[in-house]
Amino acid sequence: MTGGASGPGVGLGDWTPDSLAVPGVVRAVVSAPDPVLSRAADEVDPTAAETVQLAADLVATMKVSPGCVGLAAPQVGVGARVFAVDVTGHPKAVTVHGTFVLCNARVVEATRWKPGREGCMSVPELTGDVKRASRLVVEGDLPGSGEPVRLVTDGFEARALQHEIDHCAGLLFLDRVAGAHAVYQRKVYL
Amino acid sequence: MNELAITVIGRDRPGIVADVAEVLARLGANLTDSTMTRLRGHFAMTLICTGPAAAEVEAALASLAAEGQLVATVRAVTPDGEVPPVGEPYVMAVHGSDRMGIVAAMTRVLVDAGGNVTDLSTRLTGALYVVLAEVELPAGVAATLIDRLHQTAAELGVEVTLRPADPDLL
Do B47 and B99 sit in the same domain of this protein?
A: no
B170 in a structural domain: no
B169 in a structural domain: no
Q: What are phi and psi of B15, to 5 degrees?
A: 105, -5
Domains plus CATH for chain A?
A: 13-185 (3.90.45.10)
B27 in a structural domain: yes
Do B58 and B92 sit in the same domain of this protein?
A: no
Question: In this predicted model, what pLDDT tens digit does every residue of A31-63 receive, in sequence order?
Answer: 999 999 999 999 999 999 999 999 999 999 999
Of B37, B134, B168, the CB nearest to A116: B168
Question: In this predicted model, what pLDDT tens digit does every residue of A86-122 receive, in sequence order?
Answer: 999 999 999 999 999 999 999 999 999 999 999 999 9
- Choose between B19 and B168: higher pLDDT: B19
Look at A57-66, A176-185, B38-47, B89-98 and tell me which has the smallest mean pLDDT: A176-185
Q: Which residues of A touch B (CB under 8 A)?
A: 67-70, 90, 92, 116-121, 127, 156, 159-160, 163-164, 173, 180-181, 184-190
**Cβ neighbours of A116 in B, within 8 Å:** 168
Do B92 and B73 sit in the same domain of this protein?
A: no
3-state SS of A128-175?
A: EEEEEEEEEEEEEECCCCCCEEEEEEEHHHHHHHHHHHHHHCCCCHHH
B83 in a structural domain: no
Do B22 and B58 sit in the same domain of this protein?
A: yes
Contact indicator for B29, B51 with CB cutoff of 8 Å: yes
Residue A5 has pLDDT above 60, yes or no: no
Q: What is the CATH number of the domain that holds B121?
A: 3.30.70.260
- What is the number of structural domains in chain B? 2
So which residues of A are the catalytic ones? 164
pTM to 2 decimal places? 0.85
Query: Taking CB atoms and an 8 Å limit, are A159 and B166 in contact across chains?
Result: no
- Residue B70: burial class (beta carbons within 10 Å; 0-12, 13-18, 19+): buried
B151 in a structural domain: yes
Do B64 and B114 sit in the same domain of this protein?
A: no
Q: Which of A153, A141, A142 is nearest to A94 (CA)?
A: A153
Q: Which of B83, B72, B92 is nearest to B145 (CA)?
A: B92
The pLDDT value recorded for residue A188 is 59
Query: Taking CB atoms and an 8 Å limit, are B168 and A156 in contact across chains?
Result: yes
The pLDDT value recorded for residue B84 is 74
The pLDDT value recorded for residue A6 is 57
Last residue of a domain, one of B77, B101, B117: B77
Which residues contact residue A77 at a Cβ distance below 8 angstroms, ignoring those fewer than 6 apart?
A27, A28, A30, A34, A36
B127 in a structural domain: yes
The pLDDT value recorded for residue A127 is 92
Do B142 and B105 sit in the same domain of this protein?
A: yes
B68 in a structural domain: yes
Do B68 and B93 sit in the same domain of this protein?
A: no
Mean pLDDT of chain A: 92
Do B49 and B106 sit in the same domain of this protein?
A: no
Do B94 and B147 sit in the same domain of this protein?
A: yes
B118 in a structural domain: yes
Question: In this predicted model, what pLDDT tens digit does every residue of A118-153 receive, in sequence order?
Answer: 999 999 989 999 999 999 999 999 999 999 999 999
Distance, in Å, from the CA atom of A146 to the CA atom of A140, rounded to the nearest integer, reads 9
Residue B139: domain span? 88-164
Given the DSSP bridges, would you call strands A70-72 and A82-85 parallel, antiparallel or unpaired?
Answer: antiparallel
Do B67 and B103 sit in the same domain of this protein?
A: no
Last residue of a domain, one of B77, B111, B137: B77
One-letter amino acid at B159 equals E
Confidence of residue B1 (pLDDT cuts 50, 70, 90): confident
The pLDDT value recorded for residue A4 is 45
The pLDDT value recorded for residue A186 is 79
Mean pLDDT over B41-59 rounds to 93
The pLDDT value recorded for residue A189 is 46
DSSP letter assigned to residue A181? T
Q: Which helix (H) or strand (E) holds A52?
A: helix A49-64
Last residue of a domain, one of B46, B77, B108: B77
